[in-house]
Chain A
Amino acid sequence: MSIFIDKNSKVIVQGITGAEGSYHTDRMHRYGTNLVGGVTPGKGGQRTPQGLPVFDTVREAVDATGATHTCIFVPPPFAADALYEAYDAGITFAACITEGVPVHETLKVVGATPGMRIIGPNCPGLASPGKSLVGIMPGHVFKEGRVGVVSRSGTLTYEVVDLLTRAGLGQSTCVGVGGDPVIGTNFVECLREFKNDPQTEAVVLCGEIGGSDEEEAAAFIAQHMPDLPIVAFIGGRNAPPGKSLGHAGAIISGRFGTPESKIAAFEAAGVPVAGRPSEIPGLLAERLAAVATR
């Protein structure tokens, strides 16, 4: 098992003929993702270089292929529309890679599409190593295994996964939840899935400064999964307050969202916080060994 995506997940790409869409379609295809087609309005009937059928609408794509999952690469003005179209056509899982979606449009979409799992927007997508990769993560860093990874960042996730893989710690599913102020799926929702996933025996959680997602995750861990080996990392410990560094989400405002508050919350939940990414595999191996001898 894994969470959200596996070998059988039938995936379409919305915006499959665009620059980003076609580039990453090829990479997902080569990774082995079960891609069944894509959508670009006005280009229905064409085939991609990988031989995938292109449809004019998501409904046509779903009717013809039985797709349940979508990966969205359309430009920001059309991202919310693409999500509504997917929802209306019966898609149950959407990874929205698009960066720059107006936050009010995200707010409305997540409120109006109950039952459809949305990852992102402004996220790198996710990967269940050896099974499926949906989004823009570099496939070669992954190795199938038992560690679940959830992160607010993109490239930092690749860094962490690469370190885990080099240390022989394979992954069940890695989810990049996205850096926007409003996202479809947060840390707690991913943790709940990991908790119920038999393949996942440990979790690495990569947070960063700003917001309270990490504090909420820590509270959830303390209450619902105190025995699972979990290691956390908080990026941006040396960022100055009040400055927005890149991500819309990563800003310390006033007394909230400080690294100290996040570290204290994890430590209170019994979750060690790595001082640097390279410490994560060692800390996780320790926690796994402690569970094995118990």
Chain B
Amino acid sequence: MNLLEFQGKELFKRAGIPVPRSQHALTPHDVAAFLEAQPGEWVVKAQVLMGGRGKAGKIKMAEGAAHGRSVAEEIMASPMPPNRQNPSGEPIKSLLVEERLEIDKEAYCAIAIDRAARRPVFIVSRFGGMDIEDVAEHHPESIVKFFVDTTIGYSPYIGRELAFRAGLDPGYRKTFPAIAGGLYDLFFRYGAKLVEINPLALTADGRVIASDAKVELDDDALFRHSEFEAWRSALPLDEDELLAAGAGVGIRNFRRFPGTVGTMANGAGLAMATMDAVANAGGAVADFLDVGGGANAQRVRNCYELVVNNTGAKVFFINIFGGITRGDEVARGIVDAMQQTASRKIPLVIRLTGTNEEEGRRILREAAMTPVETMDEGAREAVRLSREA
């Protein structure tokens, strides 16, 4: 679960990391009311998960109630424009009104999980305020890392060493070890996969402040932190995620694409290979769908409806290799779906092998369906049918 800036900063505050004075606002009216009581220059920032807010005109200065209201209305008038990773953009549901900082220097500080080292890794650079991947490209020497031994945890020398090695401005030195420690505490306390301060600002009056906050919590750890339930339920699921949840599969198990070959497989690896097989056969997939382990007849039925009712699929390629998932259960789900569905019917291409495959194939044959033998054969057949349809 990715947190919005104001949520991340709430956690920063709890961990003792300095953040600008701010007020979360749901409407332009709230912004105006806050600025009425708070004279001076403020910054109004759209609360979205997408990057590139500044360039999109979604961060603006405001002074006074009337100006604040018009700026807020302007920001909320249109959603974040789409980019490659977010083809549908993102609606703006709230704003953060924040103290305007006189920023002198901008640094970068993050903790992520290093897969290869199997350790949390601090990443620090004296170049903040831009995408870390751009820093990696243009100033690779400026990026310093520290792999933390989890049996020891954080100790202030780590922060001191990072500050020196990264060549942070001397203005950072006094407070950086405590900020890094707060960040590590937050990282572990809440089970985060990524915590990032970008930029970590050094202000003209010598304060070190987290000017932005990016926190990604581990979905698998949310059961240990019931306090995030309200945030989780308020987070905007995208349409695919909502559809997946409705069908009873994981929210990451379903993605739609513009093609005409619907796909479903058990297991993410096989589902990705199924997409690849369709592409290899010259077709374009309508979706990625991992029906999950141990799928029963009901879930298979739900998945049929999910693909048929929500994608441009003209044919549906079902590719099951049974391990935990039993072939007879899948076959029953398919037959039930076809016999009872009120949705449109599209040609099915079914590849079913592994656990209880004979029983599964018998069920399909009795319902007058012919399973194919291999994944490649199934993909070819599905692509052929998608062109006829």
Contact = CB atoms under 8 A, between A and B. Distances in A.
Contact of A239 (B220, B250, B288, B375): B288
Given A104-B188, A241-B85, A154 B269 contact: yes
A241 B269 CA distance: 16
A258 B96 CA distance: 35
Nearest to B87: A240
Residue with the greatest number of chain B CB neighbours at <10 A, chosen from A108, A213, A242, A276? A276
B28 interface: no
Contacts of B269: 151-157, 179, 206, 208, 235, 246-247, 250
Nearest to B257: A240
A186 B279 contact: no
Interface string B171-194: 000000000000000001001010
Interface in B283-340: 285, 288, 290, 293-294, 321-325
Given A101-B220, A102-B191, A212-B116, A159 B271 contact: no
B115 interface: yes
A153 B270 contact: yes
A124 interface: yes
A243 interface: yes
Contacts of A248: 220
B118 to A, nearest CB: 5
A212 B321 contact: no
A13 B220 CA distance: 23
Contact of B270 (A20, A104, A156, A240): A156
Given A242-B84, A245-B255, A103 B221 contact: yes
Residue with the greatest number of chain B CB neighbours at <10 A, chosen from A99, A240, A246? A246
Contacts of A20: 294, 324
Residue with the greatest number of chain A CB neighbours at <10 A, chosen from B269, B271, B275? B269
A172 B268 CA distance: 25
A208 B272 contact: yes
Interface residue range, chain A: 35 or more
A260 to B, nearest CB: 14
Contact of A182 (B115, B270, B325): B115
B272 A111 contact: no
Contacts of A263: none
Residue with the greatest number of chain A CB neighbours at <10 A, chosen from B85, B270, B376? B270
A77 B376 CA distance: 39
Contact of A104 (B191, B276, B277): B191
Q: Give chain A's interface secondary structure class.
A: loop
Interface in A205-223: 206, 208-209, 211-213, 216
A185 to B, nearest CB: 10
B343 interface: no
B150 A107 contact: yes
Nearest to A111: B150
Given A124-B323, A246-B252, A235 B276 contact: yes
A181 B374 contact: no
Contact of B85 (A99, A156, A216, A242): A242
B280 A155 contact: no
Residue with the greatest number of chain A CB neighbours at <10 A, chosen from B86, B271, B323, B325? B323
B74 interface: no
Given A102-B221, A246-B268, A275-B280, A158 B321 contact: yes
Contacts of A243: 85, 255
A66 interface: no
B115 A181 contact: yes
B267 interface: yes
A169 to B, nearest CB: 16
A235 B273 contact: yes
Residue with the greatest number of chain B CB neighbours at <10 A, chosen from A102, A141, A247? A102
A258 to B, nearest CB: 13
B268 A245 contact: yes
A112 interface: yes
A244 interface: yes
A195 to B, nearest CB: 19
A113 B151 CA distance: 10
Contacts of B325: 155
A238 B374 CA distance: 20
8 contacts: A104-B221, A110-B118, A137-B323, A154-B267, A162-B321, A208-B272, A238-B276, A250-B272
